Amino acid sequence: MATRRCISVLLLAYLHNCDGSLLFASYYQDHMVLQKSPERAVLWGYGPEDARVLVSVSGPTHQETSPVSVTNGIWRITLDPVDAGGPYNVTAAAQNSSATLTDVLFGDVWLCGGQSNMRFTISQVFNASEELALAPKYPHVRTFVAALKLSETELTDLIQVELPWSVPTARNLAGFSAVCWLFGRYLYENLKYPIGLVESCWGGTPVEAWSSSRALQQCGLETTTDSPQSNSVLWNAMIHPLLNMTLKGAIWYQGETNADYHQDKYNCSFPAMIDDWRMAFHQGSGSQTAMDFPFGFVQLSTYKKGSTDDGFPNIRWHQTADVGFVPNHRMRRTFMAVAMDLPDKTSPYGTIHPRDKQDVAYRLTLGARAVAYNEKAVLFLGPFLSQILCTEMYVNISYDQEVSVMPSKDIFEICCSKIKAPCGPKSLWFPAPIIQWDQTTIQLSASMCPPATEVAALRYAWKDWPCDFKACPVYSGSKILPAPPFISNRYPIKGNVWTSF
């Protein structure tokens, strides 16, 4: 493997630099955003063997690096920290050759990954024309798209760029990720400094394709190749080449494919991928990308109304490592946008592709503000149960924050058992109607399970399509954040991390 990787590096260096001139790597371009201070941006590229390369940065501030040697056709330099702002010119020079990047900004760089709901474009969302018309008002939010390519081995550079770094216009944003753009735009409105957005996603792909062999081995998944469904092929071609880039964080929208593919492994494979990305970006950037960089994701929305299939509910649960909420002890510095209350039964792109990406991005932005930017007053988690108490006729649920409640006859379900055994998705579940509520508690009827002391488990919103648009029964007191789904057992399941009875 090490020999193949070395050959790959040398071959890429030759292909990118066949005339011996000095070049930046594929994703260093005019109009780009480099990570601002306190982190240090990493620059790299190609040049004549043993040439001495130095980089100068000119703009609101100036710096010049010490020279470094080109080794195996590649040079690499880490800049001193640069405060947010710009524009800058960045020039790499060696002997009689030089390359210059113009209109470079320094700000926060976010990577946007996943499958088709992350690939879903601005031109496809609700109010698309209005969103596109706003593009010129955000010249400091810059976009870049990696082309859809596969590789059986880890690559040093991208095979191809789909959209070069760009100042936003209606034309170049039309095909850009809606969740990624809206997230970046909302962040910019709050932070008021440049945001760089790197889109690297592919529709219909499982988490295994985006995971390294290291991460897959942790979950007992074997390596396969040859298609976008194959293990590691997108990690190799569309993530590994970006590792030298200094990042602020990442957002992710994926999981639909895993409802039918290694579903039972997702509670391992998804957290393992996050951990592995963090380690790899930290090492690849020379420790400039944080070892625990913030990672946000969208909990699955909906697909088939009336479906009794447990695929989507199970994946939603597994997205939290079977805890129900994030951050948690297994998934630190993560944040989640709950989306099960945003169905779109008339979507021309199929119900699996809801058009309301504005609420998704807004909820992600709340999480980023709290987790990535440490804003203490920002509520980004919907209500989650803190205690379950059973009486002879009722189940009383206490939440960890103030709740806004609407009546429902079947969103809560109970499982009855006279034996001390856990209940799972395949157990017999009965509706538990909401009877009454106050600011932090909800009382449910347990009439289908008399006496209530025989209630063995409780679950909430455990359906593919649990409610209509923004009409789930339990939200935060502000009515903005939906309570996430949960399943809780009186008798703990082996390996389960939490039960609240």
DSSP 215-267: HHHHTTPPP--SSTTSTTHHIIIIIGGGTTS--SEEEEE--TGGGSSSGGGHH
- 295 belongs to a structural domain: yes
CB atoms within 10 A of CB 217: 13
The residue type of 270 is F
Q: Residue length, the chain?
A: 501
Spatial neighbors of 359 by CB under 8 A, at least 6 apart, are 339, 342, 470
Q: Which residues pair with 459 in a beta bridge?
A: 413, 487
The rounded distance, in Å, linking the Cα atoms of 304 and 319 is 19
Which DSSP category does 195 fall into? E
Q: Does 361 lie in the same domain as 280?
A: yes
Q: What is the pLDDT of residue 391?
A: 85
Mark the ranges of the chain whose per-residue pLDDT is less than 70.
Answer: 1-19, 223-229, 451-453, 493-501
pLDDT of residue 3: 40
Residue 396 to residues 411, 427, 459, 466, Cα–Cα distance (Å): 15, 22, 13, 21
In a domain, 499, yes or no: no
How many other β-carbons are positioned within 10 Å of the β-carbon of residue 291?
12
Q: How far apart are CA 350 and CA 345, in angstroms?
A: 8
Phi, psi of 197 (to 5 degrees): -120, 120
The total of structural domains in the chain comes to: 3
**414 shares its domain with 401:** yes
Q: Is residue 498 part of a domain?
A: no
Q: Are 351 and 307 in contact (CB under 8 A)?
A: no
Whether 470 and 363 map to the same domain: the answer is no
- Residues 300 and 159 grouped into a single domain: yes
Q: Does residue 402 share a domain with residue 262?
A: no
Regarding whether 366 and 296 lie in a shared domain, the answer is yes
Cα 175 to Cα 28, 168, 204, 364, 491: the distances in Å are 21, 11, 18, 21, 49
Helix, strand, coil % over all residues of the chain, rounded to 5 = 25, 25, 50
Q: Residue 17: what pLDDT?
A: 55
For the chain, the C-alpha Rg in angstroms (whole number) is 24
Query: 186 and 284 in one domain?
Result: yes
Domain annotation covers residue 174? yes
- Give the contacts of 320 (CB within 8 A, at least 6 positions apart): 299, 326, 328, 331, 336, 484
253 and 267 in a single domain? The answer is yes
Q: Is the dihedral of CA 166, 241, 288, 68 positive or negative?
A: negative
Last residue of a domain, one of 104, 127, 153: 104
The residue segments making up the domain with residue 467 are 385-489
Separation between Cα atoms, residue 362 and residue 356, nearest integer Å: 11
Tens-place pLDDT, residues 299-327: 999 999 999 999 999 999 999 999 999 99
**Comparing C-alpha atoms, which of 157, 148, 142 is closest to residue 110?**
142
Q: How far apart are CA 328 and CA 295, in angstroms?
A: 13
User: Comparing C-alpha atoms, which of 405, 399, 402, 390 is closest to residue 457?
Assistant: 390
- Does some domain include residue 501? no
In the DSSP assignment, the letter for residue 66 is P
Here the tokens at position 3 are 């020999």
Do 282 and 336 fall into the same domain? Answer: yes
Question: Hey, what amino acid is at 383?
Answer: P
Same structural domain, 251 and 364: yes
Q: Would you state the pLDDT for residue 213?
A: 94
Query: Of all helices (H) and strands (E), which one includes residue 279?
Result: helix 266-284
In this structure, what DSSP letter does residue 153 have? S
Is residue 250 within 8 Å of residue 278, measured between CB atoms? no
Query: Using CA atoms, how far apart are residues 158 and 16, in angstroms rounded to an integer?
Result: 11
In a domain, 378, yes or no: no
CATH of residue 146's domain is: 3.40.50.1110
Give the pLDDT confidence score for residue 7 in this predicted structure. Answer: 38
Long-range CB contacts (within 8 A, 24+) of 431-435: 432/395, 432/458, 433/407, 433/408, 433/409, 434/405, 434/407, 434/408, 434/409, 434/473, 435/394
pLDDT (tens digit per residue) in 228-267:
567 899 999 999 999 999 999 999 999 999 999 999 999 9
Q: How far is the first Cα of the chain from the last one, in angstroms, to the nearest whole number?
A: 50
Q: Within a 13 Å sphere around the CA of 91, how many CA atoms are in the beta-carbon half?
A: 11
CA distance 292 to 309: 35
Six token digits for residue 339:
């989306």
In a domain, 331, yes or no: yes
Question: Which one-letter DSSP state was computed for residue 110?
Answer: E
226 and 114 share one domain: yes
- DSSP class of 96: T
100 and 116 assigned to the same domain: no
Residue 459 to residues 45, 348, 416, Cα–Cα distance (Å): 53, 32, 12
Domain end call among 342, 371, 400: 371
Q: How far apart are CA 406 and CA 176, in angstroms?
A: 37
Residue pointed to by tokens 């001193």: 80
Final residue of a domain: which of 104, 120, 143?
104
User: DSSP alpha helices (H): ranges in 335-472?
Assistant: 358-371
